[in-house]
Amino acid sequence: MSEKNLLNSNQIGLLFDASECIGCGSCYEACKKENNLPETNKDFLKDHLSDKTYTVVEEYDDKYARKMCMHCNEPTCVSVCPVGAFEKTKLGPVLYDAEKCIGCRYCMQACPYNVPRYEWGTTSPRVRKCNLCYDRLKKGKLTACAEACPVEATICGKMPDIIKEAKKRIKEHPDKYYPHIYGLEEAGGSNVLIISPVPFEQLGYSSKVPKQSMPNFTMQAMEKIPSFVSVGGIFLTGMYWLTRRKNQIAKEEKLNSGKGR
Amino acid sequence: MKKFFLKITFWKAVSIIIAIIGIYSLIIRFSKGLGASTHLSDAVPWGLWIGFDFIGVGLAAAGFTIAATAHIFNNHKYESIARPAILTAYIGYMMVVALLVIDLGRPENFWHPLVMWNVHSVMFEITWCVICYSTVLTIEFAPVILEKYKLTKLLKVIKKITVPVVIFGVLFSTLHQSSFGSLYLIAPAKVYPLWYSSFLPVHFFISCIAAGLSMIILEAYLSARAFSQGLNIRILSGLGKGVLVVIIIESVFKFAELSVLGKLPLLFVQANETYIFWLEIILGSVIPILILTHPKYRVNRTGLYFASIFTISGFILNRMNVCVTSLVRSSGQVYRPSFEEIGITLFLLLITMVAFKLVVENFHVFAPEDSIKEKGEEVLTVQSKQQILSND
């Protein structure tokens, strides 16, 4: 989905503003509480994404950066999962269904943001990641992290509104922001957008993420399959017929020349 | 009991140790989970087992190339190696499927791709192709078993459908051999640029042909030593020629692509990736090309044997590089397989070899040496004749 389509959509997303974030950890705590996740680190700033932590706040000098599932418009995980265990909902969140999952972990290998985590410690492991508080969104509530944020560093809203908000903040305070909205074009756009006072690489956001929909990389190869099968099938059948005929003729000629003698 | 111990040879002892380690590792894997039994992590979700699946499937590639040569291109000279090639593929695929299921986090759901479809997923396509191709291999190998038990009626039915079955087999194989490369297309920012290419599926396809043919040469050599069954040197050197042509095509393609994309400077950067890439090229391309272009070694069993060993080593390194080495930098984590990962892999390899041995001993897979010599062409060079004699 392009930016234009997002502007007309009813999807819900998050805007994280690293210039505003004070590193209080309210979003981290709220996420843990909402998802009934156990404590994983005494110092939340030193924690990392795991099967028990769906969002983190990282410290870079005096700046803070949130990491979590980006909820892409055309998610890599949805496209690579062989059994369709991931789903991009109409509301925006990308959800995972453990009942379908076979545990191939292709989603983890493929995700451009390295988000999905695995329950390595169990015998029936699930993939774990942020679900954008889907149940809360359905009830018209904000995500837990956005609700908990005391300074409007994480805001939750309809995509057109948060895109406008991001642009407004950058435009009104060009001195305070690096002129780029991370997530608007990365991997074909996502429902989580990030703005920052410094280049994104400095806050640990990968600058290598291609600015196009990730599933296209695979489709370029996959879309050739139908024509390959039909052309290949005809070619092989033809070759079979031709070479057999060739052998027959060679045999007959051998016989004939034998008679001639 | 005493007799049993007396009979234990070195290789039997090794096999027993591997079997014990393998069974122990399997118990740990299924009772404690992937975390406890592997060194996989959130940063490195795929390791030795997935790499080994690529290798197993690639080495089984002769199954479709030889079947196509003999049955579709009607080159009957190669009919005598169709059986070992198909047997290799069959046993190889069984191993790969077993390893895939062991590697799944939720192995009890292994059947889900049959009913839950996602046609956009390369993994889905691979699953289906592997299932279909295993069915094809069963039909292709069935005559060996039916012959032995003289089930002539069924044999006739199978012979009638051979050609379409082989055609389907070639299509399925081409698709999933290349698709193992397609798996990585979606991660352009993660795979090290020396290995990432939008032509990865093509590279995987071309290189599996050389590896598969080399595997047949290697098997023929070992079988000749083990049960004095083997293959005509003419056929073997024909295979060697095939390997040479394929390796040259792959090398030219690879370096042409690197140069067009401006990646050549990467070949001289001081980095682990550079060294291991060169090792892969030297083992899998340079040495085999040197051996196989030498007029003397190409018609010599030992020459062919070494060429095939190097080709296979280079191929194994290539698949492990794509699967592990190329991702080290982006994941920021070095992966080394755990004791259990290695144990289970070796155990499955052992089962594969024992299965191959049992089938070759009990069924008519290789043509007996005698008949080979009778049919053998007169054009054998002096060296190759000596070679055959010394092997007998």
Complex ipTM, two decimals? 0.89
pLDDT number for residue A130: 96
Q: Strand, coil or helix: what is B197?
A: coil
Sequence-distant contacts of A177-183: CB under 8 A, at least 24 apart: A177/A19, A183/A70
Residue B166: closest C-alpha in chain A: A236
Q: Strand, coil or helix: what is A179?
A: coil
| Boundaries of domain holding B142 | 2-391
Which of B68, B123, B331 lies at the smallest CB-CB distance from A80?
B123
pLDDT per position as a tens digit, B82-91: 888 999 999 9
Average pLDDT over residues B106-129: 93
B residues 178..237 contacting A (CB < 8 A): 178-179, 182-183, 185-190, 198, 201
Nearest to A218 by CA among A117, A75, A68: A75
Which of A125, A209, A218 lies at the smallest CB-CB distance from B105?
A125
B45 in contact with A, Cβ within 8 Å: yes
User: For residue B110, what is the domain's CATH number?
Assistant: 1.20.1630.10
pLDDT per position as a tens digit, B300-341: 888 999 999 999 999 999 999 999 999 999 888 889 999 999
Query: How large is the angle between the packed helices B200-227 and B48-59, nearest 10 degrees?
Result: 70
pLDDT number for residue B391: 43
> What does residue B75 show for φ and ψ, rounded to 5 degrees?
-95, 85
**CA quadruple B1, B3, B5, B7: dihedral, nearest 10:** -150
Q: How far is B390 from chain A (nearest CA, A)?
A: 36
The domain segmentation of chain A, as residue ranges, is 3-217, 224-260
**For residue B223, pLDDT beyond 90:** no
> Which of A76, A200, A218, A224 would you mutate first to test chain B, the one with the most B CBs within 10 A?
A218
Q: How far is B187 from chain A (nearest CA, A)?
A: 6
Alpha carbon distance B214, B312 (integer Å): 7
The structural domain count of chain B equals 1
- B271-293 burial: b if 16+ Cβ within 10 Å, else e: eebeebbeebbebbbebbbebbe
A101 in contact with B, Cβ within 8 Å: yes
Contact B167 A240 (CB under 8 A): yes
pLDDT per position as a tens digit, A125-140: 999 999 999 999 999 9
**For residue B354, pLDDT beyond 90:** yes
Class at the top of the CATH hierarchy for domain A3-217:
alpha beta
A72 in contact with B, Cβ within 8 Å: no
Residue A51: closest C-alpha in chain B: B42
Residue A220: closest C-alpha in chain B: B198
Task: Give residue B374's pLDDT band: very low, low, confident or very high (50, 70, 90).
Answer: very low
Report the predicted TM-score, pTM, of the whole model to 2 decimal places. 0.89
- Measured between alpha carbons, how far apart are the two ends of chain B, in Å? 34
Instruction: Give the H/E segment covering residue B171.
Output: helix B152-182
Q: How far is B392 from chain A (nearest CA, A)?
A: 34
Q: What does the mean pLDDT of chain A come to?
A: 92
Residues of chain B found within 8 Å of residue A215, distances taken between Cβ atoms: 120, 186
pLDDT per position as a tens digit, B120-174: 999 999 999 999 999 999 999 999 899 888 888 899 999 889 899 999 999 999 9
Task: Give residue B219's pLDDT band: very low, low, confident or very high (50, 70, 90).
Answer: confident
